[in-house]
Amino acid sequence: DQQVKQNSPSLSVQEGRISILNCDYTNSMFDYFLWYKKYPAEGPTFLISISSIKDKNEDGRFTVFLNKSAKHLSLHIVPSQPGDSAVYFCAARLMDSSYKLIFGSGTRLLVRP
């Protein structure tokens, strides 16, 4: 029973174009959503987050959009760069006493030069 799903295991994009990574969730008890980036043989590193009371958060080339009615969020990277090639994990924080993060299975992004 995966509460956070990333249905696209991989995505390939040309350098300079937009990368859109998608994430769906099933639990309404999440209060924060986060994106993490992971390079091989390294741990995930925090990228950007959004509160459930907002619908957009922007940080440089990275923008996260939240559609609560659809239980969907997306990460936009514009313009994409070869250094963005990594696995991107979507995560959601449970709004209970544990506040634990639930992760998706990741999407591998390849940005082609």
Partner 1 sequence: DTAVSQTPKYLVTQMGNDKSIKCEQNLGHDTMYWYKQDSKKFLKIMFSYNNKELIINETVPNRFSPKSPDKAHLNLHINSLELGDSAVYFCASSPPAGTLLLGYGYTFGSGTRLTVV
Q: How many helices (H) and strands (E) does the chain have?
A: 0, 11
Residues that bind partner 1 (CB under 8 A): 2, 32, 34, 36, 41-46, 49, 87, 89, 91, 93, 98-106
Q: How far is the CB of 16 from partner 1 (least distance, A)?
A: 28
- Pick between residue 13 and residue 34 the one whose CB is nearest to partner 1: 34
Q: How many CB atoms lie within 10 A of CB 73?
A: 25
Token pair for 111: 């940005």
Token pair for 6: 């990333």
Q: How far is the CB of 17 from partner 1 (least distance, A)?
A: 25
Token pair for 52: 């459930």
Q: How far is the CB of 38 from partner 1 (least distance, A)?
A: 8
